[in-house]
Amino acid sequence: MTSELVLYESRDRIALITINRPEKMNALSNGLVAQLRDALIRFKNSDDQCAVVTSSGDKAFSVGADIKDPPTDPDLWECMPGVGVIIDKPVIAAVAGYCVGGAYCLVQFCDLAVAADNADFFYPEAQLGFCGGLIASTAARIPHKIAMELMLTGKHFDAQRAYEVGMINQVVPVGKQVDVAMDYAKILANSAPLVVGMIKRFVRDTVTPKGPSELHALARAELFTIRNSEDQQEGGAAFREKRTPIFKGR
- Alpha-carbon distance of 109 to 138, in angstroms, equals 9
- In this predicted structure, the answer to whether residue 2 has a pLDDT above a threshold of 50 is no
Summarised one tens digit per residue, pLDDT across range 120-131 is 999 999 999 988
> So what's the pLDDT on residue 73?
82
Summarised one tens digit per residue, pLDDT across range 56-85 is 999 999 999 998 898 888 899 999 999 999
Torsion angle of the four alpha carbons 206, 209, 214, 217, in this order, in degrees rounded to the nearest 10: 20
- In this predicted structure, the answer to whether residue 108 has a pLDDT above a threshold of 70 is yes
- Alpha-carbon distance of 103 to 88, in angstroms, equals 21
Summarised one tens digit per residue, pLDDT across range 142-201 is 999 999 999 999 999 999 999 999 999 999 999 999 999 999 999 999 999 999 999 999
Cross-strand pairs, 75: 72
Summarised one tens digit per residue, pLDDT across range 78-92 is 999 999 999 999 999
Phi/psi at 81 (5° precision): -65, 135
Summarised one tens digit per residue, pLDDT across range 195-232 is 999 999 999 999 999 999 999 888 888 888 898 899 99
Domain boundaries, the chain: 6-191
- Alpha-carbon distance of 98 to 92, in angstroms, equals 17
Just give the CATH number of 6-191.
3.90.226.10
